[in-house]
Structure 1
């Protein structure tokens, strides 16, 4: 199955993804210190989401991920909303990205963010994968969000920050059964360069995902900068699918305190991105704590490498 991502890669060779949403919303005054995290802005300040998307596009991003990573039906219902109202919020997240993209002439993609069940738990489980549900339970959890994102017109899904192999298998099955015309990338949450957070071999997980034509790219995100290059080399040996990476900016996160510690000694994207491209990365962006300046830095390196 040829996806919008495949088409874009055939034209551009390399693609730039956006960066962190919550970091920029917090700068804009949105209180994300709750179970909804960055999805809080959907309730009352969607224009701030649009502004963040626009800033990333202006910085050189060609793909926006919707602000739905931690948006899910159970969480919205806990806030007192009806199912119908929650569905509308998912669609509004897509509209925020679409509004931002409309301000630019070049072709831009919108990926519907599908975060893991662990994000709903809001206890750092996306960094451990230490939760267990049945396949049916995972699919029941993810289906309403995916249905709304598809209806609202995302170009593909982003199964991102996935720490749990059983959940990834459930998502891929759900994609095949309920969304046969859609594609997705799978981006794993890893505890080191060799393993998903739940201990599954990264190579094993990548090889499994690569079997499916609807999976259009495979990679890692929300990880330390130093994990990227060695993980890419393993992924490159495991699959011929395009590889996607979007790590954190080098700061350190403590899931217990839910606070970040800055790391002024972190390597720069200008230094690292050429190594990632050499190791097989085709789609590169940023995750936690990255900002439009980081994405501009990445885009500058990517643009130079397209011309080689």
Structure 2
């Protein structure tokens, strides 16, 4: 029985899976890292408007392999390859709406299957005295849900500028069916990621409430200045939105330069009592035309290790990496957070 299942067996409501994970992991938990960089490491082609979602169609075996890589590295939460997966996106590439729905469900299935297989094999190794008990905890699966800008595949999630015609209702219409499909596929968490504006965050929360989606979600924003989300809304107002919502169980910062995260965490912690998620990128810039990261003086794995105590002191609870981070990054984070075995019985 895993660390989360142990508490659930005592009658706790499954909606609190994130809190249960933290409670049984000493207050800190590890998220996985960059998906695209690891897919490319295994030979996948992701320079496509569908990005990592393309591999749900062409090479699901590599998607499973990346999940396994991060589980081995110590990730306690693995996110699905659905960040840029949308029904409109699949249709634009010639697939039917029903095929698009199946690809979305497949993203969750692949992650759950990898998690369950890894956990079962680990338990068998423990029983045979081939692995140390408590080295791993049964991971949670988070369904990755990117912003409207991710679907556009033009880099606009890094600005939040969708044009003057964009409205709250249009954003709700865009996100609604995908949220319902992914929530119904059986993830433990909905990871609402790289959200560039208060408006889009509000749209997502209203859909969760209107559809009464009872899968816990975190809301993770992107910033370029350490004070506001990229569209210009203050981090305080975005944290207040999260704090007021019963559907959102954690506030997050992702795909943001690591050097900016400490201030963002500190400001958010003044507003919210909920867990704070932080999984930055390496601090590099995205070239939307070439669809590639521009090498820079981005953070190294050693930098991430040095940041962790500062982020933790500022109030963060869940730590991982975003674009250009790897299993090595996550392994380093796990060693800092959990130098001793976690509770697994």
- TM-score, length-normalised on structure 1? 0.95
Aligned to 2:133: none
Task: Determine the C-alpha separation between the residues in 2 that align with 1:34 and 1:179.
Answer: 34
Task: Determine the C-alpha separation between the residues in 1 that align with 2:32 and 2:310.
Answer: 19
Aligned to 1:4: 17
1:160 to 190, 193, 197: 193
Task: Determine the C-alpha separation between the residues in 1 that align with 2:55 and 2:318.
Answer: 27
Give per-residue Cα distances to partners, 1:232-291, cap 9 Å, x unaligned.
111111211111000012434334543323345735211111111111110000000000
Q: Structure 1 stretch 167-176 or stretch 126-135: which is displaced more? A: 126-135
Aligned pairs (5 A) from 1:234-253? 234-253=267-286
Task: Determine the C-alpha separation between the residues in 1 that align with 2:232 and 2:39.
Answer: 33
Task: Determine the C-alpha separation between the residues in 1 that align with 2:201 and 2:340.
Answer: 32
Correspondence 1:122 to 2:153: yes
Correspondence 1:258 to 2:271: no
Mark the CA change 1:265 to 1:169 in structure 2 (over 3 Å): closer, same or farther: closer
Helix, strand or coil for the counterpart of 1:68?
coil
List runs of 5+ in structure 2 lacking aligned partners. Answer: 1-12, 124-136
Task: Determine the C-alpha separation between the residues in 2 that align with 1:259 and 1:294.
Answer: 20
Aligned pairs (5 A) from 1:137-176? 137-176=170-209
> Rg bigger for which structure?
2
8 Å contact from structure 1 (residues 220, 244) kept in 2: yes
Shift of 1:191: 2.2
Task: Determine the C-alpha separation between the residues in 1 that align with 2:288 and 2:269.
Answer: 30
8 Å contact from structure 1 (residues 64, 111) kept in 2: yes
Helix, strand or coil for the counterpart of 1:111?
strand
Task: Determine the C-alpha separation between the residues in 2 that align with 1:266 and 1:92.
Answer: 33
Task: Determine the C-alpha separation between the residues in 1 that align with 2:296 and 2:203.
Answer: 36
8 Å contact from structure 1 (residues 87, 144) kept in 2: no
Helix, strand or coil for the counterpart of 1:213?
coil
List runs of 5+ in structure 1 lacking aligned partners. Answer: none
Correspondence 1:15 to 2:15: no
Aligned to 2:78: 64
Aligned to 2:327: 292
Give per-residue Cα distances to partners, 1:47-106, cap 9 Å, x unaligned.
100000011011000001111100001010111111111110011111110111012153
Aligned pairs (5 A) from 1:67-216? 67-102=81-116, 103-104=118-119, 105=123, 106-132=137-163, 133-216=166-249
Task: Determine the C-alpha separation between the residues in 2 that align with 1:50 and 1:265.
Answer: 28
Aligned to 2:7: none
Shift of 1:135: 2.4
CA RMSD of aligned residues (A): 1.8
Q: Structure 1 stretch 247-256 or stretch 155-164: which is displaced more? A: 247-256
